[in-house]
Each structure stands twice: as structure tokens, then as C-alpha cells.
Amino acid sequence: MPEILVTVYDVFMRTYPGFLEATVVTLQLTAIGVILGTVIGLIIALMKISGSKILQAIANVYITIIRGTPLIVQIMFLYFGIVEIYTMSNFWAGAIALGVHNGAYIAEIFRGSIQGIDPGQREASMSLGMNRKQTMSRIVFPQALRRSIPPLGNQFIITLKDSSLVYIIGVAEIFSLGNREAAQSYQPFESFMVVALYYLVLVMIFTFLLRLYENKLDVDKA
């Protein structure tokens, strides 16, 4: 076995208890970021497709700012902005920043899914006596949600990798632990190789689970 692989294996065996704890933190950050982002995204998407120019303008400004600035800048901005107003742990500050960031992208996913529904279905539901609210909740939303599952799954995986950026505010997730191990052991290549393996395994697992869920729902027929 090549010496470098032996060294990577040694680093892995020495650090796996800490990395397992950091993996839990990473998954928590990802889950909160996606859930919060989904709530924000749905609200922003509804604002974008509403008939109000004011709401549309607010949604457009939000999406433009979030998509036009780096996530790491948003994390720093929100972290120091939040702690000036309200005392909050760096974990929750990072999770909120991920949620706000995701909201802009998930809003576009929902908007595209909603507007992708055949307008004829809306007209048909109206002719059956449904109002706009009933049409959206009973006809449009169920189909739009089903169509949005693949891109939402991809966004979850993107968030999983983006969560590494919260190390900048001191959250002890996978990348932060790898960075610390590299500094303490003077083995940066081996340490970050282990970090890459953890992320790769997590992404592969969630990609597999996402494919299973898509096949179960048969989203391609939505």
C-alpha cells in the first residue's frame, strides 16, 4: 500500500470520533438551512408571482442581493449583524445564514415549478367554481411540489457542501475540524483528504436516497 494511503488511514483512525461529532453538526446545519430556506423560498416565490408590484420588487431585490454576493460574506454579515441585536450562538447564526442564502435559490425553484403548470388546468378549475386560493392549493401546489423535488434535492446537496463555510465563524463542523487537525498534525494533505472523504460519502448517500425517493414518486411523470 502506498505510504500516503497509510498516512491518510492513520489520520482517519485517529480523528474519526471527532469527525463523527462534526458530521452530526454538518447535517444539522444542512437540515435547518434547507428547511428555513424552503419556508423563505415559498414566501418569496408567492411574492414574485403575485399581482402586487411592491411584493414583486421586494422579492426581486432579495433574490438579486443574495444571488449576487458570496455566501461567506453573507455569513459574516448576518453573524455580526445578528449578534449586535440579539445574543445567539455561532451555530444558529450560521444555520440562519444558510437558510437565508438558500431561500433565494429555492424561491426560483418554486416559481419555475408553479409557472410550469399548464395554465389550462387553472382555467379548468376556475370553470368548475374554484376560486384562486382553491386552485392554487388543490391543483397547482401539489403538482408544483412534485416537480420541485429533484432541484430541491440538489439544493440540499449544495447546502451540505456550502455548510463548510460556517467554519469562518467558529462552528465545529467537518471542515473546521479538518482545518484544526491539519494545523495541529502538520499533515494538511492527509487531513483534507479525510475531510473530502466524509463529504463524498455524505453526498453519495443523499444522492442515492434522493434517487430512491424520486423513483417512488415517479416525478418524471408529474
Q: Which domain holds residue 126?
A: 3-217
Give the per-residue pLDDT at 68.
Answer: 95
Residue 206 falls inside a structural domain: yes
Q: How confident is the model over 70-74, as a mean pLDDT?
A: 94
Give the per-residue pLDDT at 155.
Answer: 92
Give the per-residue pLDDT at 71.
Answer: 95
Residue 153 falls inside a structural domain: yes
The fraction of the chain above a pLDDT of 70, given in percent, is 93
We report the CATH number of the domain holding residue 47 as 1.10.3720.10
Q: Establish how many alpha carbons lie within 13 A of residue 62's alpha carbon, considering only the half-sphere containing its beta carbon.
A: 23
CA 116, 157, 165, 81 torsion-angle sign: positive
Phi, psi of 218 (to 5 degrees): 55, 55
In the predicted model, what is the mean pLDDT of the chain?
Answer: 87
Rounded Cα–Cα distance for residues 24 and 194 (Å): 16
- Residue-level length of the chain: 222
Domain count, the chain: 1
Residue 69 host element (H or E)? none
- pLDDT at residue 62 is higher than 70: yes
Residue 9 falls inside a structural domain: yes
Q: Left (φ > 0), alpha (ψ -120 to 50) or beta: where does 103 sit?
A: alpha
Residue 222 falls inside a structural domain: no
Rounded Cα–Cα distance for residues 115 and 143 (Å): 11
Q: How confident is the model over 6-35, as a mean pLDDT?
A: 89
Give the per-residue pLDDT at 25.
Answer: 95
Where is pLDDT greater, at 1 or 195?
A: 195
Q: How confident is the model over 194-208, as a mean pLDDT?
A: 94
Residue 211 falls inside a structural domain: yes
Give the per-residue pLDDT at 219.
Answer: 52
What does pTM read for this prediction? 0.86
pLDDT bucket at 218, cuts 50 / 70 / 90: low
Q: How confident is the model over 110-115, as a mean pLDDT?
A: 86
